[in-house]
Every structure is written in C-alpha cells, then in structure tokens.
Amino acid sequence: MVRRKRKPQIVVEDGEPTAVILDIGEYEQLLERLEEAEDLEALQEMRKKPLKFRPLSEFLDEHKPAVEVTARTSRGERLATVSC
C-alpha cells in the first residue's frame, strides 16, 4: 500500500496562523533532521576546544568505582575484606 504524501495544513485562529498539521512521516523526518543539526552543532563546539590527553590510569581512577569484597564464614564471621 502506497501512502500519498499530504500537504501541511495550517490552523488559523483570528486570522493568524497558530499551528501546522503535518503528515507523520514528514514530522518524523523533521525531528530527525533537527537532531542531526543539534549533533553537528555540538560536534563543532567540541572541535573548537583543544584535545587533552591523560594517562589511562588517571581516567580509570576517576571513572572506575571501587569494589569491596568481604569473605565470611558460614556463621557470618568476617574473614577478610579486599578492596580493588
């Protein structure tokens, strides 16, 4: 089934255009193009700033959550705690 593309309908109140009714496909394309334009703008802003490099260990220290493991006996007594 081929869908015919509909022309946008303009809603007028008191002689002034107040809204537009679009075909859903056109609306989705419009949203996609807007998102792509926003992404491009963000990329252009990022490229204006100089790149900064740092050691991987520094990054991991900042972004890797610490893990703490506690070993217990069957009675619940703590044997050891190890932090990584």
CA distance 24 to 13: 23
Question: How many domains are there within the chain?
Answer: 1
- DSSP assignment, residue 64? S
- Please classify residue 61 by burial: count the beta carbons closer than 10 Å to its beta carbon, then call 0-12 exposed, 13-18 middle and 19+ buried: exposed
| 68 vs 17: CA distance, rounded Å | 62
- Structure-derived torsion over alpha carbons of residues 15, 20, 21, 22, reported in degrees to the nearest 10: 150
Give the range of the structural domain holding residue 42, as residue numbers without chain letter.
9-83
Instruction: Confirm whether 28 is domain-assigned.
Output: yes
Per-residue pLDDT tens digits for 11-68: 999 999 999 999 999 999 999 999 999 999 999 999 999 988 989 888 878 877 666 7
The encoded tokens of residue 19 equal: 């809204």
